Amino acid sequence: MVVTIRDALADERFRAAQPTVTVEGKGLDRPIRWVFTNEREDVANFLSGGEMLIVDGSALSGMSADAMAAYVRSLADARVAALVVELVEDIQTMPATLTNTACVRGLTLIGLGSRVPFVDLCQRINTAIVREQMRLSLEVDTMSSSLRERLSHADNIDAVAQAIADLFGESVAIFDADGLLAAQAGGVFRDDEPTVVIGLSGQSRPTGALEISQRATILDEDKRKIIASIVDPVASLSIDGGARIGMIRHIVAGPSDGIHATNAEAADTHAMLEALGFAGSCIYLPFALRLRSLTASMDDVSAMIEQYCAQTGRDIACILDGATLIGWMAAEDAAADVPAFSVQCVHALGTLLDDNDNVCVVHGKVATDTVSLLDGFAALRDVCNSDPQYGQMIDVMDSAIDRFAANDDMNRAVRALIAQTIGSDIAASPVLLDTLCACFDHMDNKTGACEQLGIGRQTLYNRLDKVTQMIGIDHTDCSGWTALLLAAKLAKSRLDQHIS
């Protein structure tokens, strides 16, 4: 058993504080991971989800209505279990803004009508939480033995799911590496209930993912690893995608140095793309979907993929790696309109965000060859290493300069910015490189760039259009174009230093 909000309210010490549930939020049976007090307005930055936060009403008295609403939204986004407010002195009734915003965002809101030292409340509930965690830790060995014993009798993927569901008393779903539902047991998943996704792999490649509800059991990272190690070899007998999944996994891993593909890596990737049915004339757009819940989102993802692939000359290859679906969208004709292809892909990915806050969409820029495709996955993985922003779409170009500035290794930072923005083809073209540098020198003023280059305005636009056709970034895209110009200037500077 886990300690829930309801359990905390029933505690003798908590009852002495006369708690009143003002907003029930997502339910009083939601588990509490920890109880503490912190009255900073930016406390959400230090939370990991599931906490019960206790604050004095006086901490809210100085907030404006906008600040108070933002405070509640930040706690809801951090997936706080409940906000508890002591209503004794400065604020004796729950502010309307606090209540209304909590209702909208589904945050449980509790008022305390009597003063009890916060340290007593925290100590009381946290002791119960720790005691439960110790009990669960003692049960890990038993869980491992029980799971192994149950799976020893599982001769298919449905039996694997049923064995896990029976052991934990939770809903269970198993997906293969293509993101398709392979088995489900333990009943349907409830809307907005907490779940955990455990990646499954075998023979150095993903075989799928396991999603388990967390109604009565909280599986921490250690328990997840144990479950994965036990389930992996059994599940892979039924859902291992074989060499095809292995090739896709190799491609989406990106270049070995995490920055720029070598000629050998590009050659290997080209051979794999051909083996997968992608002609050498294809153009690509790498993408990753970070999924809060597979069961809540995968039907929409599958519908998007089917709709995109139904178009002539369009295809998608992707694999499910834990809670992330990563791959590329492709068009057969390399002579296609690159900007139009980019817009089409982004539009298709954007449909996943319609009334859905369980998905974070990350996409790169268009790749017209295997080198730029591999480099694109390097940029994609840089962005995916950060916490997912569910319900939003992220263009890797928008954060290119931020990633550049955050890199302590200047040489690596410069190489990454060049490879992930202008790419090797533009860096190797003196005419295009000089043109972009002239735009940088004149803060993208076209008249100044023309005067520096000694060319007419139409010639300048022809060159910029060629850049856009090569990488899909238009000069009207402020953030992407700014990163591109900076990368061009750095590439030119490195080239000049090398020549010198």
The secondary structure of the chain, three-state, reads CCCEHHHHHHCHHHHCCCEEEEECCCCCCCECCEEEECCCCCHHHHCCCCEEEEEECHHHHCCCHHHHHHHHHHHHHCCCCEEEEECCCCCCCCCHHHHHHHHHHCCEEEEECCCCCHHHHHHHHHHHHHHHHHHHHHCHHHHHHHHHHHHCCCCCHHHHHHHHHHHHCCCEEEEECCCCEEEEECCCCCCCCCEEEEEEEECCEEEEEEEEECCCCCCCHHHHHHHHHHHHHHHHHHHCCCHHHHHHHHHHCCCCCCCCCCHHHHHHHHHHHHHCCCCCCCEEEEEEEEECCHHHHHHHHHHHHHHHHCCCCEEEEEEEECCEEEEEEEECCCCCCHHHHHHHHHHHHHHHHCCCCCEEEEECCCECCHHHHHHHHHHHHHHHCCCCCCCCEEEHHHHHHHHHHHCCCHHHHHHHHHHHCCHHHHHCCHHHHHHHHHHHHCCCCHHHHHHHHCCCHHHHHHHHHHHHHHHCCCCCCHHHHHHHHHHHHHHHHHHHHHHC
Q: How far is CA 59 from the centre of its chain?
A: 33
Same domain for 257 and 403, yes or no, is yes
Under the banding of pLDDT at 50, 70 and 90, the label for residue 1 is low
Q: What is the mean pLDDT of residues 401-423?
A: 88
- Among 38-47, 216-225, 313-322, 403-412, the minimum mean pLDDT is found in 216-225
Mean pLDDT score of the chain? 89
* CATH code for the domain of 371: 3.30.70.600
Q: Do 369 and 453 have their domain in common?
A: no
Question: Do 418 and 487 meet the contact criterion of CB atoms below 8 Å apart?
Answer: yes
- CATH for 129: 3.40.1390.20
pLDDT band at 304 (very low <50, low <70, confident <90, very high): very high
Phi-psi region of 254 (alpha: psi -120 to 50; beta: other; left: phi over 0): left
Q: Using alpha carbons, select from 165, 215, 176 the residue that is nearest to residue 4.
A: 215
Predicted local distance difference test score (pLDDT) of residue 242:
85
pLDDT (mean) for 305-329: 94
| pLDDT value for 141 | 77
Other beta carbons less than 10 A from residue 251's beta carbon: 26
Q: Quick check: pTM over 0.95? A: no
pLDDT at 470 (0 to 100): 85
Number of domains in the chain: 4
Q: Is 376 in contact with 329 (CB distance < 8 Å)?
A: no
* Phi, psi values for residue 87, rounded to 5°: -110, 75
160 pLDDT more than 90: yes
pLDDT band at residue 499 using 50, 70 and 90 as cut-offs: low
Q: 326 falls in which pLDDT band (50, 70, 90)?
A: very high
Q: Which domain holds residue 130?
A: 5-137
Same structural domain, 207 and 123? no
pLDDT at 136 over 70: no
Nearest C-alpha neighbor of 269 from the set 358, 147, 372, 390: 372
448 and 390 part of one domain: no
Task: Let me know: does 102 contact 109? Beta carbons within 8 Å.
Answer: yes
pLDDT for residue 500 is more than 60: no
Provide the percentage of residues in the chain whose pLDDT is more than 90.
Answer: 48
Under 8 Å between Cβ of 285 and 366: yes
Query: Looking at the predicted structure, is the pLDDT value of residue 449 above 60?
Result: yes
In this predicted model, what pLDDT tens digit does every residue of 283-302 receive, in sequence order?
999 999 999 999 999 999 99
Does residue 334 carry a pLDDT above 60? no
- Do both 360 and 435 map to the same domain? no
Distance CA 137, CA 133 (A): 6
pLDDT band at 256 (very low <50, low <70, confident <90, very high): very high
* 329 and 346 inside one domain: yes
Residues 314 and 360 in one domain: yes
Boundary residue ending a domain (137, 159, 189): 137
pLDDT at residue number 335:
62
Burial 117-135 (b: 16+ CB within 10 A, else e): ebeebbebbbebbeebeee
**Residue 407, C-beta contacts closer than 8 angstroms, at least 6 positions apart:** 413, 416
Q: What average pLDDT does this structure show over 228-236?
A: 92
Shared domain check, 268 and 410: yes
Confidence of residue 234 (pLDDT cuts 50, 70, 90): very high
The answer to whether 198 touches 210, Cβ cutoff 8 Å, is yes
> Is residue 24 domain-shared with residue 117, that is, in the same domain?
yes
Q: What is the pLDDT of residue 264?
A: 94
Q: Which of 416, 434, 451 is the last residue of a domain?
A: 416
The Cα angle at residue 285 between residues 279 and 290, in degrees rounded to 5 = 125
- CATH code, domain with 210: 3.30.450.40
Predicted confidence band of residue 441 (pLDDT cuts 50, 70, 90): very high
Q: Summarize pLDDT for 67-95 with one digit per residue, the tens.
A: 999 999 999 988 899 999 998 887 888 88
- In the chain, the amino acid numbered 118 is F
pLDDT for the residue numbered 25: 86
Same domain? 347 vs 457: no
Give percent above pLDDT 70 in the chain.
97
Is there a single domain that holds both residue 316 and residue 408? yes
More confident residue, 222 or 491: 491
Domain final residue, candidates 416, 442, 477: 416
Residues 75, 61, single domain; the answer is yes
Average pLDDT of span 226-236: 92
| pLDDT above 80: residue 137 | no
